[in-house]
Structure 1
Amino acid sequence: MWFRRRDEADLILKMNTGSGKTVVGLVIAKSSLNEDKGPAVYLVPNTQLQEQVGITASELGIAWTDDPADPAFRQSEAVLVVPVHTMYNGRSRFRLEGHGNTVHVGTVIVDDAHACIPIIEDQFSTTLADTTPAYKGLLKRFNSVLKEQSLSGWTSITTGSETQAVPIPYWAWANELASSYALLNAVTETDSKDHQFKWPLMRNQLALCDVAFTSKEVEVRLPYPNLAVIPSFTNAARRIYMTATLADDGILVTKMGVDPNCVTRPIAPSSASDIGDRIILTPVETSRMVTIEDVKASAANWATSLNVVVIVPSRHRANEWQPYTSEIHEKTTIKAIVKRLNTQHVGLVVLIARYDGVDLPGDACRVLIIDGLPERYSPAELVEAAAIGGTEVMSSQQTQRIEQGMGRGVRATDDYCAVILLDPRLVGRLYSAADLHQLSPGTRAQYELSATFAKSGRSKPMSFFADAVDAFLARDSAWTNASKDAVEGLTYSSLSSVQPLLVAERDAFREACAERYTQAFELLQAQFSSISNARYRGWIKQRAASYLELVDPVKAREIQVKARIDNNYILKVPTSTAEPKLSHLGNQADAASAHLGQYAKPRDLEVVVDGILFDLVPSTDKNSHKRFEAALDIVGKMLGFNASRPDATTGIGPDNLWAIGQDSYWVIECKSEAVASQVSREYLEQLTHSADWFESQYDISQHPYLPLLIHPSRTPMWDAVPRQTARVMSFDLLAEFRIAVRGYITALCSTDSYRDPSEISKNLNHFGFAARDLANRWTQTFRAPAKR
């Protein structure tokens, strides 16, 4: 198939991991050299995979090198095997556009394309610490702008108290472009060695960059990789993208500039059943009898004789495994631990944020636990997540990373690995993905088989699931036969067409890079009406306006105002700070029924609520406070209240606002990342500011309100005085609140009555959620201040 189509500039090769993908890629590279289509470059995500590809090449007798200056590579006698960042960096030995003679390349193989994309994206982003002159200089220039965008965010940046990210509006960035360029261009290697490898890739397109601050760093990031900056890649006669798990290859169009026609016609084997065997279990979500600690105890037990690998999103989550293992590894120690796992029994190993780019075949990993959704932590990523989190675009990207993670332990068709999903939000994401067909055919079939088995595990202890894992690992014929039948006859999926928006995004960016800003705007403008999701439509309108700003600022601002109507989590113009007044929804049970009725099945609702309640647990994990506030917002709506997040949408006001009926409101400040045993003066002042905001927006003679602080403690510090009417929900009471919310939802789902207002009303009363009972049941008075 490839040979017949080998002269097409872009080709996608889809094969399951372990089905000989690396061998095929190397043979294609060698064949291209034989055809005088060299030199040939084989790109991989990291040095670990570079080493593995090199070993395979040697076994095949294919000459290879890891040195771009090697004459054997330059003369098309050997394949160059390097990590993708070797080609894409500001000091690339392939030479940047306009920097002398670039290295001629005839063929490029991109292995694990899905894993290479975020690495390439990161090369077009520079992050500078708050200790650097550039950070301080940029902060000084944009201080007032940050305050306009978010008062609470600006406060967190200037006090260093939280991890909130605040974006710089593109119009303010355009006004300070020359001075910002000077600051970034003056960054020394002492300030940031990393910057030296990224800045040259970005500096000619600085006007197109997104910029965001936190109290710790500032990030300057191109919205899409400008691949043309390395002509060796874009001018290659052949570019072959090898991918195993991407169900939707549209991301290759937006991020890699792949020809859309190539995406709809991938090269793939006739069958997709060439996949290793997996059982995918969700014990905590399946059975209320199973706790997270039960799963961890079972993992420790398996680890006495097997290698058990846990993938977590952050250091905070990794620390929760410390009672069970000391083998916790991140970037600097990954290579060594992977080598140990591949050669010996290690036991229980935790890997931080390694959802891709790690191979753990055979006994290197027999049980794989995914404990947490892959999170986004850079300033620009935090801004994007706040703006379009929950949209199908973001969900699809997250699903792909989850699937990549689940594939770490199965690296051949005869390999097998038990996979356990531990985070309720992760389970919910995968549950939705299965419905939306965002998973690859093999993973979807294995997940559905496991889900069918799991139905018999409701109300069963962890031993039920542990026995299933043991039987699977022992290659019990009941499992192996069922697994084989599940994947039999599967074929690889491909898109019948590429969404026009994806093509427009990439083409618009190319036009903007060529300084054809009006054309860039018009390409995106033509897609506005086709975007059904309002939040994503607002996001794309904002991107279009950012291009137009560089030639027509007045019209760009008009587009931005319209974008804010679609999505009030994006940049606000100075005239758009007013928060629409939150109205009451009428009968509480009717309102709750209307919200809950959007879920098609009781199980859909239960899975979503599990994830929401997980986010409603206080945590010091980075950016967890945003997830907490979003969860509280949804809980309010599930209880039949109207709810909003003024601080997130306007940058002023409380974290959460509930309209609870009888013209009454709750003004809520959430301190879910707090750990102090007393309430600080700063926190009570924030609650007072939010109360003042409410009084400036609403007639309190008609709309009584309750200022509420969610905090670990009820006791103010000696110098802290609560507002007269303020109350508190301690973390202990919050825990009871979560239990009651779960009970409320479980009761409605168990009888399939979550759409029935009369049943909802009964349960609202039973669990203390009726508006008249809410304050007495779920809030507390502050205690007397602590003694000095």
Structure 2
Amino acid sequence: MSIFSNIGQGNPADSTVDPKQLFRALPKPSGSPFRFPHDIQTEVWDKWFQRRNEPDLVVKMNTGSGKTVVGLLILKSSLNEKKEPAVYLVPNKQLVAQVCRTADNLGIKWTKDPRDPIFRQHQAILITTVHTMYNGKSKFGLHGTLAQSIPVSTVIIDDAHACIPIIEEQFSLTIPAQSPQYRELLALFNEELKKQSMAGHTAIMEGRGTRSVPVPYWDWQAQQDSAYRILSTFAGDEGQNENAQFGWPMLQEHLQLCEAVFSPQQVEVRLPYPDLAVVPSYMKASRRIYMTATLADDSMLTTHMAVASECVTDPIVPSSAGDLGDRIILTPMETSRVITKEQVLASVQVWAQNRNVVVIVPSRHRAQDWESLTTEIHDASTIESVVQKLTRGHLGLVVLIARYDGVDLPGDACRILILDGLPERYSPFEQVEAAALGGTETMNVRQVQRIEQGMGRGVRSTDDYCVAMLLDPRLVERLYDASAKEQLSPATRAQYELSNALAAEGRGKTMSFFDEAIEGFLERDPEWVSASKQSIANVTYGEASVVPPEVRAERDAFTCAMSGQYLEAGRVLQQIYDKVPDNRLKGWLKQRGASYINLVDPEQARKLQYSARTDNNYILKTSGQSSARRQPSNANQAAEAAQYMNKNYSTLQSFEVGIESLLRDLTPSIESGTYRRFEAAFETLGCILGFTSSRPDNESGRGPDNLWTMSTGQHWVVEAKSEAAAETISRDYLGQLSGSADWFDATYAGTSFTQVPILIHPSRTPNWDATPRQGARIMSFERLKELRDAVKNFAVALADKERFRDQTAVGANLRQFHLSADELTQQWTQDFLPQASQH
């Protein structure tokens, strides 16, 4: 036989197009786990094959249902049919390695290098991270550069919800406060930053705290030439951080559309949405497939990836949604009020002796709670190695920092998964967005999806099983909301409801009840296994999610603005303002529209910005615009309190969990950024106690952190220093309190209203050079703790027979726990102590 004998005899693995037939034709190695496809996989392949020539397709499958195999066969089919390059994109290198192993077991050739000839000659699939394609030095080539673009025919973005934030991040540039360009930009926008937030501006100038202050778009656009020069200089310095080298090329052509936000640590400049056209390889691909887990909301595919809403609402899904591994979802501390966190941690130590227990926390500070139990605390820099260790065998208790997605922990790698805290938003822009949209449906949906993504880390196949435990009351509070449950995927919702049935039996029980439940679950108790399988057996995906009209409008408007059609961009958004039910979101969108219009018609933009501020007090304010006076209610305190609690807590359980979450947020912490939660919780506490409660500084950049308006006409003017740790009170802090008192005098001039300026601080002792304003009071952290205890007892009393809905009971307990307006100041605040001596 000649060495040329096989020439011309086509290999069916390189010519078969139908994915089912292709699966059989692939030269799988001996020992491959993929001998036969699952029914769900063949069903998805059939549906894709019929629609394969649509430019954008969304494929939704449960985690662990063989999604990677489905994706690889789709790419190989496209490679065989079109004879053009195919790319498989994932969020991180760990998942690249997993997809490569799957490809090996399927007998599919692959490479990780975009410059590899076997990829360019369409002989192998490229498997790489989404960052490899989208960055300022992309090996695929960038629009407007000399580098030749690599032609790509088919692209799969797997785990799309985790990939999108990575793409979004590439269209941002961060300049640290230590850089001379930070100081140049700060000098350029100094006056406007001061107008937006006096407290934020002070923090930025002094380099302390984490307050973020946005640059108004009208000032940013007016200073384009200077900003461009400064940013270009920063990016051109090769000694600067990598972010500049990779971010600046993605922004420089559309700087007028960017948003800039300062914090004491950095200034962030970013586009509102990704400019996908900057990488022609992606935009020119004839097939783009977005593979996602079964999250209910896919709006980000439209806003960030420009996927048509018609495509998002018509995804390819299996007929059954029951192809999910087994989970029991437990909330011991919220289910039974007698259980403490210390008791849970004691049980965790026992579980970790024989099994891998993985804890996900939102920050390094929160990880400190676990340092006494384990040294295995890992962030992005070490996560890959620890996941390998977990996969190989028993490691015990492992803590992962801020890894709610993009990590797989199959089988014994994780049998108990604990979420201890909500995913936090840390970048300056994210903080501004969270302040503007906090509490809206948009933000709540994002949080619920991150929680579900986190819970899914430990179940990676249909025969896998894992305990999912929620420790932070804020997590549980979010899921107790009726609308939040609808945002869970169908199978997860079914598992959550089954777990709640068990939880009903655990009310008032000790931790031993949950220890027994966990042990039975992990030992695969037949009664649980049967009930669990039955709960998801008939679950389907139901109706496709509806993409709200504002989502499509946001992307369309951005596309218009990118092409210089600024008035048209504003008009696109204007058409949907009346269709947005939430005023805070409406105001945010109006501001976005005004930022486009301002480039050609500043007067029209200014009018729209005024209207936006009327809808949302937490966005940019223009000159002469301030928050309206808060008027005391005519109703008595008990009536207001009962009305608020009845409106905001639909069930006894939501009331109990809501109060616990509130009290946690009212606990001071030196963790950077926690002041936002503290101030928000103090605002809510005012409402619960029956006062008109607001946050003037957060709304307008002027005034105190918190303002409680009582029916008597008295006001608490509060400066909250919940992150402070000093043993004395600084002159600066007392100056801020005095400034807030002056703000009150000016704002409420001509009225009979009175004020009590109050500083919340760990100490009662002013520094030697600091003098309190006359009439000012101090709430020390010690007195604050006593107030929290009183509020807790107040809530416990009202929880009995849901008496928090009864005005008479509320009034009696306000007096019982010294929370009535006439007792409040004397009971919970004190005089300042004498000044500390000068050393």
Q: TM-score, normalised by structure 2?
A: 0.92
Correspondence 1:692 to 2:756 = no
Selected match of 1:440 from 489, 511, 517: 489
Given that residues 45 and 115 in structure 1 are in contact (C-alpha distance below 8 angstroms), is that contact kept between their aligned partners in structure 2? yes
The one-letter amino acid paired with 1:762 is: A
Counterpart selection for 1:649 from 658, 676, 699: 699
- 1:636 corresponds, among 686, 711, 726, to 686
Counterpart AA for 1:680: S
In 1: Cα distance, 2:333 partner to 2:266 partner: 37
> Does 2:511 match 1:467?
no
Match of 1:83 in 2: 129
TM-score, length of structure 1 as denominator length? 0.98
Q: Residues of 1 paired with 2:634 and 2:736: CA distance? A: 28
Judge conservation of contact 1:434–1:444 (CA < 8 Å) in 2. no
Moved more, 571-580 or 117-126: 571-580
Q: 1:551 corresponds to which residue?
A: 600
Map 1:275-286 → 2, pairs under 5 A: 275-286=324-335
1:199 pairs with 2:248: yes
Q: C-alpha distance in 1, partners of 2:762/2:471?
A: 26
Using the TM superposition, name which of 463-472 and 415-424 deviates more: 463-472
Give the Cα–Cα distance (whole angstroms) in 2 for the partners of residues 319 and 245 of structure 1: 33
How far apart, CA to CA, are the structure 1 residues paired with 2:364 and 2:729? 27
1:347 aligns with 2:393: no
The separation in 2 between residues aligned to 1:9 and 1:525, in whole angstroms, is: 29
> 2-side partners of 1:582 and 1:71: how far apart?
72
Deviates more, 1:222-231 or 1:149-158: 222-231
Q: Could you tell which deviates more after superposition, 677-686 or 15-24? A: 677-686
CA–CA separation in structure 2 for the residues paired with 1:134 and 1:470: 57
Which range moved further: 47-56 or 756-765?
756-765
The equivalent position to 1:264 in structure 2, one of 286, 307, 313, is 313
The letter for the 1-side match of 2:173 is T
How far apart in 1 are the matches of 2:185 and 2:543?
45
1:57 is matched with: 103
Contact 1:266 1:494 in 2 (8 A): no
Of residues 763-772 and 429-438 in structure 1, the stretch that sits farther from structure 2 once superposed is 429-438
CA drift at 1:745:
2.5
Checking the alignment, whether the CA contact within 8 Å between 1:711 and 1:729 is kept in structure 2 is yes
The aligned residue for residue 453 of structure 2 is 404
Shift in Å, 1:386: 0.6
Q: 2:140 aligns with which of 91, 94, 109?
A: 94
- Alignment partner of 1:2 is 2:48: yes
Residues 267-666 of structure 1: matches in 2 within 5 Å?
Answer: 267-432=316-481, 435-495=484-544, 497-598=546-647, 599-666=649-716
- Code of the aligned partner of 2:193: L
Q: Secondary structure at the match of 1:453?
A: helix
CA distance in 1, matches of 2:550, 2:735: 46
In the alignment, the residues of structure 1 paired with residue 627 and residue 511 of structure 2 have an alpha-carbon distance, to the nearest angstrom, of 51
Give me the whole-angstrom Cα distance separating, in 2, the residues matched to 1:214 and 1:52: 38
What amino acid sits opposite 1:369 in the alignment?
I
Distance 1:629 1:700, change over 3 A: farther
Higher mean C-alpha displacement, 434-443 vs 57-66: 434-443
Give a deviation string over 1:117-148, Cα, whole Å, max 9, x none.
Answer: 11111111111101112211111100111101
Which residue of 1 is the match for residue 23 of structure 2? Answer: none
**Against the structure 1 CA distance between its residues 204 and 585, is the aligned structure 2 distance closer, same or farther, given a 3 Å change threshold?**
farther
Cα displacement (A) at 1:37 = 5.3
Give deviations 1:291-349, integer Å, cap 9, x for gaps: 12222221122111111111011111011211111111101111111111111211111
Q: Secondary structure at the match of 1:597?
A: helix
Name the aligned partner's letter for residue 13 of structure 1: V
Of 108-117 and 653-662, more deviation after overlay is shown by 653-662
Deviations 1:261-288 (A, max 9, x none): 2112111111111101111111111111
Offset from partner CA, 1:8-42 (integer Å, 9 cap, x none): 11111111111110001000000001101521000
Partner SS state of residue 685, structure 2: helix
AA partner of residue 248 (structure 1): D
1:433 is displaced (CA, Å) by 6.0
Q: What does residue 4 of structure 2 align with?
A: none
Distance 1:697 1:665 in 2: 12
From 190, 215, 222, the counterpart of 1:168: 215
- Which of the residues 105, 111, 119 maps onto 2:166? 119
Secondary structure (helix, strand or coil) at the match of 2:607 reads helix
Say which SS state the counterpart of residue 458 (structure 2) adopts.
Answer: coil
Change (3 A) 1:251 1:493: farther
User: Is the Cα–Cα contact under 8 Å of residues 479 and 485 in structure 2 kept in the other structure?
Assistant: no
Q: Matches of 2:547 and 2:366 in 1, distance apart?
A: 37
Contact 1:585-1:661 at 8 Å conserved across structures: yes
The Cα shift of 1:787 comes to 2.7
Deviates more, 1:280-289 or 1:694-703: 694-703
Given the alignment of the two structures, is residue 181 of structure 1 paired with residue 221 of structure 2, yes or no? no
Separation in 1, partners of 2:482, 2:414: 25
Q: CA deviation at 1:603?
A: 2.2
Structure 1 residue 259: Cα displacement: 1.8
- Alpha-carbon distance in structure 1 between the residues aligned to 2:665 and 2:428: 20
1:646 maps to amino acid: P
Q: In 2, Cα distance between the equivalents of 1:139 and 1:62? A: 53
- SS at 2:404 equivalent: coil
Residue 389 of structure 1: how far off its partner (Å): 0.8
Q: Distance in 1 between matches of 2:527 and 2:690?
A: 47
Shift of 1:734: 1.2
Asked if residue 143 in structure 1 is aligned to residue 190 in structure 2, the reply is: yes
| Separation in structure 2 between the aligned mates of residue 368 and residue 585 of structure 1, nearest angstrom | 50
Q: Cα distance, 1:493 vs. partner? A: 4.1
- State the alpha-carbon separation in 2 of the partners of residues 245 and 675 from structure 1: 44
Q: Is the 8 A contact 1:579 1:646 kept in 2?
A: no
Cα-to-partner distance string for 1:646-674 (whole Å, 9 max, x where unaligned): 11111111111111222111111101001
Which residue identity does 2:106 align to in structure 1? L
| Structure 1 equivalent of residue 92 of structure 2 | 46
Size of the aligned set, in residue pairs, is 788
Cα shift at 1:645: 0.8
CA contact (8 A) 1:275 1:412 kept: yes
- 1:777 equivalent among 820, 827, 830: 827
- Give the letter aligned to residue 620 of structure 1: I
Change (3 A) 1:681 1:442: same
Cα pair 1:265 1:494 within 8 Å, conserved: no
8 Å CA contact retained: 1:247, 1:494:
no
Between the aligned partners of 1:497 and 1:463, the Cα distance in structure 2 is: 44
- Distance in 2 separating the partners of 1:216 and 1:71: 44
**1:667 aligned residue:** 717
**1:724 CA drift (Å):** 2.3
Comparing 451-460 with 42-51, greater Cα deviation is found at 451-460
Letter in 2 for 1:262: C
Whole-angstrom distance in 2 between the partners of 1:375 and 1:753: 34
**Native 8 Å contact 2:485 2:493 kept in 1:** no
Q: Tell me which amino acid in the other structure corresponds to 2:120.
A: R
After the TM superposition, list the runs of 4 or more consecutive aligned residues in structure 1 that deviate by more than 4 angstroms: 433-436
Residue 577 of structure 1 deviates from its aligned partner by 2.8
> Displacement of 1:600 after TM fit?
2.5
Q: Which amino acid aligns with 1:501?
A: E
Letter in 2 for 1:177: Q
Using the alignment, how far apart are the partners of 1:22 and 1:578 within structure 2?
52
What is the RMSD of the two structures over their aligned residues, measured on CA atoms?
1.4
Deviation, structure 1 residue 747 = 2.3
Pick aligned residue for 2:66 from 11, 17, 20 = 20
Q: Which amino acid aligns with 1:38?
A: E
Q: Residues 219-246 of structure 1, C-alpha deviation per residue, up to 9 Å, x if partnerless?
A: 0011111111111111111111111132
Stretch moving more, 608-617 or 38-47: 608-617
